[in-house]
Structure formats: C-alpha cells, structure tokens
C-alpha cells in the first residue's frame, strides 16, 4: 500500500511540474534553432513580396466577381524588377509595415503609439481609405487612437490595418497575445472594430505559423483572438463552414460568400451601393479561401486568394506570407524566389529598408520579444513560450448606422471616364443639401492643378448651426477622404449648408454625391442626377 501511494505521489508531482512548465493558460515551450527562426522570418516577408507581385495586375479590377481561369496570372523573372522600377507603389502594404518596423528598431519594443502615428502621418507616401482618413485626422488635431475610431473615420472597417499587420505577428513567434498587444498599439491608428480585427487576426495567424504545421488548425486557433459576437468572427466562421460544405470546390464557397451579407459594404463611402468592397471582412474571407483550399501549396493558395477578386494583390500577399512563415524561406522553389532575389538588397520606395534589411530587423525584434515574454535565447537555439490565444475586447464600429439614400451624379461609363459633379463650389456662395436621418457623408474635394501649399476651408452648417470647418489641403498626400462626415446627427429632416470660406480664382470644390444614413437598416434608395 505504501509503495502504491509513493508511485501515485511521484505521478502527481510529475503532472504538477508538467503543468507548471506549460503555464496556467496551457502554454507550452517550443525549441527551435536560430537558423530555423530566421528562415521563418524571411519566409514571411518574401511571401508578401511574392504574393503582392503575383496579384498586382488585377488589383480591384474584378469587383464582386471571380477572375476567370481564362485570365493568365503572370509570373516570370522580370516581373518583380519591373514593378520595383515602374510601379513601386504596388508594395504599399509592405512599406507601410516598414514604417512601424523602423520605429521598433529606433525606439524599442515599448515605443509609444504617438511615435508610430507621427511617422505614419508624416511619411511621403500616398495613402487611401482608412489610412488616408487617419493621416488627415492626426495632421488636423485628432490623435491616435481616436484617428481610427468610427466617429472620426468613415473607413474604420476597411482593410487597411489587415494589409499592414504582418510585422506584429512576425515579431512575436508563437506568442499570439504579444502579437495582439503590438497590433492593438498600431491598428487603432487607422481602424476600429472589424477593421482592427482584420489586422489582429492576420497578426495572430503569422504568430502561430511559427509553431504550427497544419494550415487548417492555424486558421481555427488564431480565430480565438476575435470576439465571437463580432461580425468579423461570424464571417470567418462562415468561410470555415463553407469550406466544410464544399471541400473540393472553392468557387462554390466564394459564391456562398458573395450571396451573404458579408459581400455588402455599408460604411466605406466608395463601397456603398457599389460592387467595390474594401471592407476587412470580405477580403479576409478571400485570404482564408486561399489558405484553406490551398492546402499548403503556394501557387494554389495565391491563385485562389487572387482570383477571388477585390483587393487581389493584398489578399494573396497575406496568405502567402502566413504560409511561408510556416514553411520557411528555404522551402520556396527557385521558380518563385528567383524573381525576388535581384531586389532583396533594394530599398522599398519611401524607405531606406530592403528585404534583406527587414529580414534581419524582424529577426532581432523576434529575439527580443521571445525574451520579453518568458522565453530564452541561447547561442544556437531559442525556447519560445507559446501562448494560448486570449480573446480581444469587443468593439463595434457604426452601431445602428446604415446607409439609406445615395444621391450621385451620373457615373462615368468606365473607370477611365471623367467623373461628373453633382454640384460645384467656385466662390463663397454656399450650396445646400436636404437630407433625412442621423448622418451625412459628402464626397468630393478640391479640383486639380492647385498650388500644393494652398489649404481650403469649407464651413459646414447643419440646420443653420456651424458644425465644423473642414481643412482641404491641395497637397494630395494630406487630403481628406471626404468633404464632410457625421453619423451622429439627431434623427430627423435636416439642411446642410456648405460654404467655401477662402475660394481662389480658378479653383473649384467638386461634389460628385452624398450619402444619407439612418438608424434602421433598409433597402438603399439611389438617385442619379
């Protein structure tokens, strides 16, 4: 009897020691060589460059429709160099990342949000959508994180942080909650709610890709960081369910997504009543299509994420980056990596950082994060304290805010056609807009060919009371995404008056249309004049 008790005591003691070694949240320790760690870091960054180049020629050319198999997706030894030379802006989702990587390099892991926000806001590169609105906010007195909040940014749910969150996961191997901390610090500069969750989920998948070898399980477990009550989570769960329903046909899954509510953009002014959809949810769905149906094959993964359409360069870049973090740089065949090698020492546009630079920077940041969160860094190996995903706090952008009416000028016959204006300001004579509901977004901006130093001032009054004076920089990098936006107006019938306070000779402010918002979801009325 005593012998049995002793054996049981030893067994219980060993169990307790094992539990302690994995941590109270189910953490485990993973050991890998430093060479293996660097190989995965390089795979993540190279994957992004491969994916964005592969999908670049089709970006936003296929809206609400798949890219047919008859359309060849080009890849050859000259393609990457061609884009570096002729269209370096294609790599915006990489050089945006590098802005934040550079701040970590200069100021350390605890760099404050202000450093990231100021570097982002004052960079020379062009921005669009949530990034553009956030930059405008920061430069006009609305600091981060308020710069990304839905009350100040009509693009809060857009894809922006999703395409620039790679760094957060790559610097936190296996430490998914640490990746969430870095994502939270930066993602709210430009996004909120589902737009933020897009980046947080991407960061989580990158982080876990270091310690997983099963893409399906990676997708499932990383999703635990997203609150189940959010629309973003529900959309990802739908994609996973469609994959189970149609395990051998990604196109049926794509169609199921297209037929769902996730294919409708309700808040980005450019996507309302339009096939254009830059919302994080549907574009994340296309990333998942590639990962799930690609089954670990790089070409198939990118091909599916690209052919799903919409943001068809950023989505394969994300999918390829995650997959190649898991598989490593050395797994990439010559066919895919040879076109990348000639540019690995070339700085990305608007930066002094090359792929070879960021391989080294992210690797060193990862070593620091490993130590910061309880792991160890030895001469040849690292021990990573793998974290169990913890769910982020729930945040919902635009609660009970729905587009109800779109009034617009006749749209051009094609993408290259001249955009007509619904109304134009060319003096200080005000124009009025009658609207109903709880919100109004007025699209438009200054005419072209104006002195870059000029800053217009547009006074907007609601029902005779000045609501705000909107600054209108002629400098295209500092422009506002919309002329006016407010979705917190008391419900009712209203009159908006727009007055150009400082008009200049020959200048114009063009208004191609506006959107009214209601607290009740209904079919959108469209008026074309």
- pLDDT tens track for 470-519: 999 999 999 999 999 999 999 999 999 999 999 999 999 999 999 999 99
Contact indicator for 311, 63 with CB cutoff of 8 Å: no
**What is the mean pLDDT of the segment spanning 317-339?**
98
Contacts with 352 (C-beta within 8 Å, 6 or more apart), sequence order: none
Q: Phi then psi for 78, rounded to 5 degrees? A: -95, -10
Q: Phi then psi for 90, rounded to 5 degrees? A: -55, -30
The answer to whether residue 171 scores a pLDDT higher than 90 is yes
Distance of alpha carbon 135 from alpha carbon 141, whole angstroms: 10
Distance of alpha carbon 320 from alpha carbon 207, whole angstroms: 14
* pLDDT on residue 423: 95
What rounded mean pLDDT belongs to the chain?
93
Q: For residue 145, is the peptide bond before it cis, meaning its omega torsion is within 30 degrees of 0?
A: yes
Q: Please state whether beta strands 492-500 and 28-33 pair in parallel, antiparallel, or not at all (unpaired).
A: unpaired
The answer to whether residue 415 scores a pLDDT higher than 70 is no
Helix pair angle (355-372, 34-55), 10° resolution:
130
pLDDT tier at 22, thresholds 50, 70, 90: very low
Contacts with 99 (C-beta within 8 Å, 6 or more apart), sequence order: 116, 119, 120, 123, 351
Contact indicator for 157, 194 with CB cutoff of 8 Å: yes
**What is the mean pLDDT of the segment spanning 192-198?**
98
pLDDT tier at 17, thresholds 50, 70, 90: very low
DSSP 3-state of 141: coil
CA distances from 182 to 59, 106, 165, 172, 496 (A): 28, 16, 9, 9, 41
Length of the chain: 529
Distance of alpha carbon 6 from alpha carbon 393, whole angstroms: 46
> Tokens 């310690």 label which residue?
211
Nearest residue to 190 (alpha-carbon basis) of 154, 244, 166 = 154
Q: Where are the domains of the chain?
A: 44-386, 402-528
CA distances from 526 to 21, 197, 218 (A): 61, 31, 42
* pLDDT on residue 51: 98
Q: Name which CATH class applies to 44-386.
A: mainly alpha
Q: Please state whether beta strands 423-425 and 455-462 pair in parallel, antiparallel, or not at all (unpaired).
A: unpaired
Whether 44-386 shares its CATH topology with 402-528 is answered: no
The verdict on domain 402-528 having CATH code 4.10.520.10 is: no
* pLDDT on residue 167: 98
For the stretch 39-97, pLDDT in tens is 999 999 999 999 999 999 999 999 999 999 999 999 999 999 999 999 999 999 999 99
Phi-psi category of residue 476: left, alpha or beta, with phi > 0 → left and psi -120 to 50 → alpha: alpha
């Amino acid at each position: 009897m005593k012998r049995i008790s002793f054996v049981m005591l030893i067994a219980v003691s060993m169990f307790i020691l094992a539990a302690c070694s994995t941590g109270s949240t189910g953490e485990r320790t993973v050991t890998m060589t430093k060479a293996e760690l660097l190989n995965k870091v390089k795979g993540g960054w190279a994957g992004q460059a491969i994916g964005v180049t592969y999908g670049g020629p089709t970006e936003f050319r296929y809206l609400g429709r798949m890219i047919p198999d008859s359309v060849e997706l080009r890849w050859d030894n000259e393609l990457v160099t061609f884009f570096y030379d002729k269209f370096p802006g294609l790599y915006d989702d990489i050089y945006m990342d590098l802005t934040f990587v550079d701040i970590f390099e200069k100021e350390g892991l605890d760099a404050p949000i202000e450093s990231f926000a100021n570097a982002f806001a004052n960079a020379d590169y062009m921005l669009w959508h949530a990034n553009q609105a956030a930059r405008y906010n920061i430069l006009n007195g609305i600091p981060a994180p308020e710069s990304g909040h839905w009350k100040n940014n009509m693009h809060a749910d857009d894809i922006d942080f999703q395409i620039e969150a790679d760094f957060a996961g790559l610097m936190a191997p296996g430490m998914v909650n640490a990746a969430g901390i870095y994502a939270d610090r930066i993602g709210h500069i430009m996004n909120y709610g589902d737009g933020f969750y897009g980046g947080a989920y991407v960061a989580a998948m990158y982080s876990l890709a270091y310690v997983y070898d099963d893409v399906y399980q990676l997708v499932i477990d990383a999703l635990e960081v997203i609150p189940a009550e959010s629309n973003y989570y529900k959309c990802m769960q739908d994609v996973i369910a469609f994959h189970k329903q149609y395990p051998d046909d990604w196109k049926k899954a794509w169609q199921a997504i297209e037929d769902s509510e996730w294919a409708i953009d309700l808040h980005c002014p450019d996507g309302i009543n339009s096939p254009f959809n830059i919302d994080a949810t549907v574009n994340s769905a296309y990333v998942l299509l590639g990962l799930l149906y690609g089954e670990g094959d790089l070409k198939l993964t990118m091909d599916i994420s690209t052919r799903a359409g919409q943001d068809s360069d950023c989505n394969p870049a994300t999918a390829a980056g995650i997959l190649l973090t898991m598989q490593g740089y050395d797994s990439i065949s010559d066919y895919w990596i040879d076109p990348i090698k000639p540019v690995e020492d070339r700085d990305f546009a608007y930066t002094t950082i090359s792929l070879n630079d960021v391989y080294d920077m992210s690797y060193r940041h990862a070593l620091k994060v490993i130590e910061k969160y309880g792991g160890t860094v030895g001469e040849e190996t690292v021990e990573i304290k793998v974290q169990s995903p913890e769910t982020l706090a729930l945040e919902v952008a635009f609660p009970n805010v729905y587009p109800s009416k779109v009034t617009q000028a006749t749209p051009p016959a094609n993408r290259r056609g001249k955009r007509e204006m619904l109304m134009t300001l060319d003096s200080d004579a005000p124009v009025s807009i009658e609207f109903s509901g709880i919100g109004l977004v007025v699209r438009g901006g200054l005419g072209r060919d104006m002195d870059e130093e000029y800053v217009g001032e547009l006074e907007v009054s609601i029902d005779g009371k000045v609501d705000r004076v909107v600054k209108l920089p002629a400098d295209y990098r500092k422009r506002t995404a919309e002329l006016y936006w407010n979705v917190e107006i008391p419900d009712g019938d209203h009159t908006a008056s727009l007055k150009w306070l400082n008009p200049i000779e020959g200048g114009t402010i063009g208004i191609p249309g506006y959107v009214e918002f209601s607290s009740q979801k209904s079919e959108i009325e469209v008026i074309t004049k």
